[in-house]
Amino acid sequence: MILSKPKIAIVVGSKSDLQIIKGCEKILNEFNVDYDLKVLSAHRTPVETQQFAQNADKVYDLIIAGAGKAAHLPGVIASYTILPVIGLPIKSSTLDGIDSLLSIVQMPKGIPVATVAIDGAENAALLACHILTLKYPYIKELLVNYRKRMADEVLS
Ligand code: RP5
């Protein structure tokens, strides 16, 4: 679907993941990218998760999916949509998020999930913005300015 303004979905597996998503929200607001934030669980609400993912390309440009522990949510969502899915491993267990990271990054071939660092919410949103430049060139300039500000901060 051709959208005139970027819109993405952020999906997390539990309300307990919402705190970490604030990092995504901050970046997306800065880049003027609209988003819907949903809590959907691949194991607690499998039917609703499937329904969401099957219809997502009618509404969104891409999906950020964050989950912890046995974090199959991004992979399951990716299996039902051709939209790019960015997986955000959330540190929510006694294994320090290594379990989430491996569950998300180790997708078997055929259904890729672009995985960012454990609790890498800002990078998940930034990667989303980079992908969105393919369709919304105005975001390019915002990314260039963002990097310039970052460099200035390092050098000041
Ligand atoms: C995953 O299990 C969620 O993404 C969350 O990170 C983790 C723990 O969920 P709660 O037990 O806190 O709801 O499904």
Residue 24 within any structural domain of the chain: yes
Q: What is the pLDDT of residue 90?
A: 98
The span from the CA of 31 to the CA of 19, in Å, is 20
* Cβ pair 87, 105 in contact under 8 A: yes
Best of 41, 92, 95, 96 for a ligand 1 pocket test (most atoms within 8 Å of beta carbon): 92
The pLDDT tens digits of the residues spanning 105-132 come to 999 999 999 999 999 999 999 999 999 9
Domain that holds residue 69: 7-155
* pLDDT value for 92: 87
Confidence at 2, pLDDT banded by 50, 70, 90: low
Residues 2, 57: contact at Cβ < 8 Å?
A: no
Rounded alpha-carbon distances, angstroms, from residue 39 to 19, 33, 56: 12, 19, 14
Annotated binding site for substrate: 14, 17, 44
**7-61 pLDDT, tens digit each:** 999 999 999 999 999 999 999 999 999 999 999 999 999 999 999 999 999 999 9
The CA 141 to ligand 1 mean position distance, Å, reads 36
Q: Which atom of ligand 1 is nearest to the CA of 15?
A: 13
93 pLDDT band (50/70/90 cuts)? confident
pTM, whole model, 2 decimals?
A: 0.96
Q: What is the H or E stretch that residue 37 is in?
A: strand 34-39
The answer to whether position 21 is within a domain reads yes
pLDDT the model gives residue 3? 56
Q: Ligand 1 in contact with 67 (CB < 6 A)?
A: yes
- Contact (CB, 8 A) for 72 and 99: no
Residue 25: CATH number of its domain: 3.40.50.1970
Q: Would you say residue 73 lies in a domain?
A: yes
Is the separation of the CB atoms in 79 and 52 below 8 Å? no
Helix axes 121-132, 18-30, angle to 10 degrees: 40
Interface predicted TM-score (ipTM): 0.96
Number of domains in the chain: 1
| Structure tokens given for 1 | 């679907």
Residue 46 in domain: yes
Q: Which atom of ligand 1 lies at the shortest distance from residue 66's CA? A: 4
User: Rounded CA gap, 30 and 103, in Å?
Assistant: 30
Question: Does any domain span residue 145?
Answer: yes
Determine if ligand 1 sits within 6 Å of the CB of residue 69: yes
pLDDT range class, residue 1, cuts 50, 70, 90:
low
Q: What is the pLDDT of residue 23?
A: 98
Q: Is the CB of 90 under 6 A from ligand 1?
A: yes
